[in-house]
Chains A and B, each alone.
Chain A
Amino acid sequence: MNTVPDKPVGAVLVVGGGIGGMQASLDLAESGFYVYLVDSAPTIGGVMSQLDKTFPTNDCAMCIMSPKLVGTGSHRNIRLITNASVKEIVGPAGNFEARITRKARYIRPDKCTGCGECAKHCPVIAGDDYNVGMSRRSAVYLRYPQAIPKVFLIDREACIGCGLCERVCLANAVDYADQDTEETLSVGSVILAPGFEVFDARRRPEFGYGVYPNVLTSIEFERILSATGPHRSHLLRPSDGSIPERIAFIQCVGSRDTSCGNDYCSSICCMYATKEAIIAKEHVHFVKPTIFYMDIRAYGKGFDAYYERAKADYGVRFIKSMVSKVREDPRTDNLLITYLNEEGERLEEEFELVVLSVGVVPSTSVREMAKRLDVDVDRFGFCETDTFAPVATSREGIYVCGAFESPRDIPETVSQASGAVAAATGIIASARGTLALKKEYPPEDEVKPEEEPRIGVFVCHCGINIGGVINVPSVKEYAGTLPNVVHVDENLYTCSQDTQEKIKNAVKERGLNRVIVASCSPRTHEPMFRETIRDAGLNKFLFEMANIRDQCSWVHMRQKAEATEKAKKLVRMAVGNVRLNQALTETSVPVVQRGLVIGGGVAGMTAALQLAEQGFEVFLVEKESRLGGNLWNLHYTLDGKDIEAFLLDLIAKVSNNPLIRVLLNSLIVDFTGVRGNFTTGVMTAPAMYYQKIEHGITVMATGAEEEKPHEYGYGEDERVLTQLELEGRIAGADTGISGIKEVVMIQCVGSRNEQHPSCSRTCCATAIKNALKLKELNPAIRIHILYRDIRTYGLMEPYYARARKEGILFVRYEPAEGPEVTVNENKLSVSYDDKMLKERITITPDLLVLSSATVPRENKELANLLKVPRTAEGFFLEAHMKLRPVDFASDGIYLCGGAHAPKLISETISQAGAAVARACTILSKENLSVGGVVAVVTGEQCAACLTCVRVCPYDVPVINIRGEAEIDIIKCKGCGTCAAECPARAIDLMHFRGSQLEAKIGALISAQVS
């Protein structure tokens, strides 16, 4: 970092516009840096844009992604450069020159309106790669309906040059003479997020992909399930268009496979196959999905519950086996799968459709780019990183995130993307704000309360999410009959960028002063629509959403008529309400540009250090007498890195950093405030010294710990110990260790059971790490690992292969017939059923090592103080599992590390960075606006009865000198308790005023809006 020049450039280049690249760009842009987002595809969105649903929440991928698409596409500090690639990057970190080549698009982005007239007239029929060739498109096309930027392009290989598009384009956007162009960008740092492509299933010819029409890849199946797929979400098989009843999923195609050189695990396929099986079942109730797997790797947060639900509620059949081949029955086009079951029997079964769960591979073009940029990749082509610096590439100033670093799912990509932002901005922090442009809104048109409302209603089809259930045109027509509604419209996707323009134009042309969007959830989309009407000069509170998807079409899928009627009522209620909406102003308050980090383990220390690197002061509060947390119990990593050296170095860096104040032996005792302005009371032992800290953001990093087992004789016999205790003994050069001849390890002790349904994620890798270490010390040692599924996901898989090769015995057990342990003074014995040998085996090991569950540290009180939610198992619960993995629902509070869920050190480090990047979106601003939804007192009605003073949970109301209640809008959180209790009804909660709620309820019953 010393080589970064004094005056770095305040812009960052992001390569790849998938979910990782978009998250990185948004975080960068929101924290004061200018972003160039380069994507090799003509539109951003990446692989996620092709997904139908996402696990484990079954959220619609496009629905949760489109706010990010629109946000990225419309952010003034993000410049999209699509259809382009990075040719080279020269110069030192902090002052790079990046040469970009942009391929000819043949449509001018500055002129194209995305109207689609050209595609309508194009006579060419070409394969649509968005639907993996399963549908057709024209030569001039847009990759998918919600695409950003919404600019068409011409596929010159398919184009016949007839000139029709040029003639019909009213915007004169077609330019056949367009050529490849080059440009050079000055940037301070670079984030690589180029993503992945799927394994070419033709390389496993025994499965018949490309030969038998009813053998599909998982991405093809995903498209078939999708509303924008080739059959508009109808589940039909390719050979004859019939509905397949028996569907087989074959796992690990192109993963965990040395024959094709991919001996890593692709991490995501177990879960996506489970998801696709569930969704197929939801589409067609009689579908019988079967998943042929080696190990089910449901290691993420909430994944095991999802897997159990697939089995119990959806009847998905899971068969542990290796599939040897797939044959086609030419008479029926059905497929015969030959496999060996766990007992070693050879079986054959017939299916109507086979889905190959293809793995994640870095594409050839990405490997070539890495070479051009002088960035090292491993033997698979994934970017080389270090366990302790998980987002840094081999070249200074260039960072990485997402599946190019190693195979990973969406939340981990999103969190790593934010982590990369923290690293990429850390080295150029001094240039913050030098190139970023400030958002300026047009002046707000005044809308007086007495002015007659002019309401515009926009009803969304949401593809077929709404339109497939609800009769959208009739809802639209009905909306037009409601009082004060002067404009109605329907859209395929109301969230797409062109619809935002339509809304803005309608506001201006039709003189609208209230806007209703009848679509999805305000939780995900309200901010975006509010921004749209604000851009059109309307106050953002003059907006209302009718949730006709999540609360209607999705939940009344089988009652179409009732759903349409309900949708009309919901729109009517929204009209009743919005008529009374008032313009509310927000006030600007200064941000305390200082952070508070709770927990001094690796997560908290990394977060504190990175916040300091960004130039912000940090308080790091640790309840123990030393920093380090759980890391003191760990000594070496799976890849042989020295944890202790890393830990000591980290502690020294934190302790010596002038911007970090470490408070040891300290507890949080009170907590108030809002994002930008928190006040926390900290008590420090032994003197119980109390101090108040003012800070703008909070990072929760309270960690997790190994549970002390309750089973298998732990605590009764010293030969029974946990993995961490074993690791301590190995690292402590315990002389007894080398004399040990036989060891049994039992996995999932206290995990994946009723009390603790989740997987503890790290124990498989830990067991293998310690087993390999024992083998290293004594090659003659016999080690048996009793497991349920071995979950060495991603690049840890080769270590599992190595452990097997070195003779470590892996034996699977079912929880119902788990191993039995008997302990008496001279003998420790473990017995279990061996499925292969069909025999009960009894071993008398010298040591029994229990891979005990990872549980959160005591955090209930803290959760109550900060008012943040926890999962049933006590881990903190993020705002959104997929796309907001480090945010809490309350703004300005973030989480990372073991407090979130069990995770590896490298994952903790990148997540701590992510929390910092998210925090910087607040800390980098000098002011934030507050107000809006707050309680307001009508002084003359106040009887000074003190009810509000008594009931306010935050002690905000006071009786002022005039003898009236007064509420400080900066402190008010807008819960409305005072408004509900005030006997004189002198207090009202803005935006949720009594009159509004009454009007809304009135409109539910009566069409006559009173």
Chain B
Amino acid sequence: MRLSYPSNVKVVKVPCTGRVDILLILHAFENGVDGVYLAGCLEGECHFLKGNLRAKKRVQYVKGLLEEVGIGGERVEMFNMSASQGQRFAQCAQEMTERVRSLGPSPVKGGSKK
């Protein structure tokens, strides 16, 4: 469909959102990423049964952590979409980019390791 979305979004392929652990999301923020979102199957239609529901819980948990340390819980999100919803994929990319842009750069910008 080639629907355009902001080039800030880079995709990291995983077999299922269920593979994405809390540490991995935190690791991304630690490296200086401004926002993270997970794009999983629609609820109830997970290709691996329940992976997306597990991911949803973890995202909720990370939201709390980020809020606590002052990075901001809004910087992480879970989106659900099916393989046939290209439009929604582009929409989510747009929405998340706008949200993160309005929040400004992450306080850990530049990476904590530097």
B51 at the interface (CB under 8 A from A): yes
- Tell me whether B33 and A975 are in contact (CB under 8 A): no
Residue from the set A552, A569, A975, A989 with the largest chain B CB neighbour count within 10 Å? A975
- Within 4-32 of B, Cβ neighbours of A (below 8 Å) are at 4-5, 7, 10-16, 18-21, 23-24, 27-28, 31-32
Within 8 Å by CB of B10, from A569, A974, A977, lies A569
A566 at the interface (CB under 8 A from B): yes
B101 at the interface (CB under 8 A from A): no
A981 at the interface (CB under 8 A from B): yes
> Inside 8 A of A893's CB, which chain B residues have their CB?
none
> Inside 8 A of B58's CB, which chain A residues have their CB?
980
- Tell me whether B10 and A1004 are in contact (CB under 8 A): yes
Q: Residue on B with the closest CB to A553?
A: B2
> Inside 8 A of B49's CB, which chain A residues have their CB?
867, 953-954
Report the separation of the CA atoms of residues A566 and B93 in the bound assembly, to the nearest whole angstrom. 15
Binary CB contact string for chain B from 43 to 60 against chain A (1 if under 8 A, 0 otherwise)? 011011111001000100
Report the separation of the CA atoms of residues A555 and B91 in the bound assembly, to the nearest whole angstrom. 12
- Tell me whether A877 and B11 are in contact (CB under 8 A): no
- Tell me whether B7 and A562 are in contact (CB under 8 A): yes
- A58/B24 contact (C-beta < 8 A), A953-B49, A976-B18 known: no
B102 at the interface (CB under 8 A from A): no
Q: Chain A nearest CB: distance from B86 CB in Å? A: 9
Q: Residue on A with the closest CB to B45?
A: A869
B69 at the interface (CB under 8 A from A): no
Q: Chain B nearest CB: distance from A969 CB in Å? A: 15
Report the separation of the CA atoms of residues A347 and B70 in the bound assembly, to the nearest whole angstrom. 68
Q: Chain A nearest CB: distance from B102 CB in Å? A: 20
A6 at the interface (CB under 8 A from B): no
Binary CB contact string for chain A from 926 to 941 against chain B (1 if under 8 A, 0 otherwise)? 0000000100000000
Within 8 Å by CB of A977, from B4, B13, B32, B48, lies B48
- Tell me whether B18 and A980 are in contact (CB under 8 A): yes
- Tell me whether B54 and A951 are in contact (CB under 8 A): yes
- Tell me whether B51 and A877 are in contact (CB under 8 A): no
Q: Chain B nearest CB: distance from A132 CB in Å? A: 26
* Number of residues from B at the complex interface, CB < 8 A: 38
Q: Residue on B with the closest CB to A980?
A: B21
Report the separation of the CA atoms of residues A989 and B45 in the bound assembly, to the nearest whole angstrom. 22
- Within 847-881 of A, Cβ neighbours of B (below 8 Å) are at 864, 867, 869, 871, 877
- Within 69-114 of B, Cβ neighbours of A (below 8 Å) are at 82-84, 90, 111
- Tell me whether A997 and B31 are in contact (CB under 8 A): no
- A973/B24 contact (C-beta < 8 A), A58-B2, A997-B12 known: no
> Inside 8 A of A562's CB, which chain B residues have their CB?
7
- Tell me whether A1001 and B24 are in contact (CB under 8 A): yes
- A547/B4 contact (C-beta < 8 A), A953-B48, A980-B20 known: no
> Inside 8 A of A871's CB, which chain B residues have their CB?
84
> Inside 8 A of A951's CB, which chain B residues have their CB?
54
Q: Residue on A with the closest CB to B1?
A: A58
Number of residue pairs A-B, CB distance < 8 angstroms: 119
Report the separation of the CA atoms of residues A558 and B27 in the bound assembly, to the nearest whole angstrom. 32
- Tell me whether B48 and A973 are in contact (CB under 8 A): yes
- A992/B4 contact (C-beta < 8 A), A570-B10, A1006-B111 known: no
- Tell me whether A976 and B16 are in contact (CB under 8 A): yes
A799 at the interface (CB under 8 A from B): no
A190 at the interface (CB under 8 A from B): no
Q: Chain A nearest CB: distance from B46 CB in Å? A: 8
A563 at the interface (CB under 8 A from B): yes
- Tell me whether A989 and B15 are in contact (CB under 8 A): yes
Q: Residue on B with the closest CB to A1002?
A: B31
- Tell me whether B19 and A977 are in contact (CB under 8 A): yes
- Tell me whether A867 and B54 are in contact (CB under 8 A): no
- Tell me whether B11 and A547 are in contact (CB under 8 A): yes
Within 8 Å by CB of B23, from A867, A989, A994, lies A994
Report the separation of the CA atoms of residues A867 and B46 in the bound assembly, to the nearest whole angstrom. 8
- Tell me whether A977 and B11 are in contact (CB under 8 A): no
> Inside 8 A of A558's CB, which chain B residues have their CB?
4
- A1004/B7 contact (C-beta < 8 A), A57-B1, A975-B15, A980-B19 known: no
Report the separation of the CA atoms of residues A954 and B48 in the bound assembly, to the nearest whole angstrom. 9
Report the separation of the CA atoms of residues A877 and B82 in the bound assembly, to the nearest whole angstrom. 11
Residue from the set A58, A563, A954, A976 with the largest chain B CB neighbour count within 10 Å? A976
- Tell me whether B14 and A556 are in contact (CB under 8 A): no
Report the separation of the CA atoms of residues A668 and B12 in the bound assembly, to the nearest whole angstrom. 37
Report the separation of the CA atoms of residues A361 and B20 in the bound assembly, to the nearest whole angstrom. 53
- Tell me whether A1006 and B14 are in contact (CB under 8 A): no
Q: Chain B nearest CB: distance from A713 CB in Å? A: 36
A657 at the interface (CB under 8 A from B): no
Q: Chain B nearest CB: distance from A766 CB in Å? A: 28
A979 at the interface (CB under 8 A from B): yes
Q: Residue on A with the closest CB to B110?
A: A1005
Q: Chain A nearest CB: distance from B9 CB in Å? A: 8
Binary CB contact string for chain A from 968 to 1010 against chain B (1 if under 8 A, 0 otherwise)? 0000011111011100000001001010011011101110000
A126 at the interface (CB under 8 A from B): no
29 A/B residue pairs, CB under 8 Å, sorted by A = A554-B2, A555-B4, A555-B7, A557-B4, A559-B7, A563-B7, A864-B44, A869-B82, A877-B84, A889-B47, A889-B83, A890-B47, A953-B49, A954-B49, A974-B15, A975-B16, A975-B47, A976-B18, A979-B21, A980-B58, A992-B15, A994-B21, A994-B23, A994-B24, A997-B24, A1004-B10, A1004-B33, A1005-B32, A1006-B111
Those 10 A-B pairs whose CB atoms lie nearest each other, nearest first: A976-B19, A975-B48, A953-B49, A980-B21, A977-B18, A975-B16, A562-B7, A554-B2, A556-B7, A1005-B31
Q: Which residues of B contact A (CB under 8 A)?
A: 1-5, 7, 10-16, 18-21, 23-24, 27-28, 31-33, 44-45, 47-51, 54, 58, 82-84, 90, 111
Given contacts A976-B51, A1000-B12, 20 further A-B contacts (CB under 8 A): A57-B1, A522-B13, A552-B7, A555-B5, A557-B4, A558-B4, A562-B7, A864-B44, A867-B48, A889-B83, A890-B47, A975-B47, A981-B21, A992-B15, A992-B19, A997-B14, A998-B24, A1001-B31, A1004-B33, A1005-B32
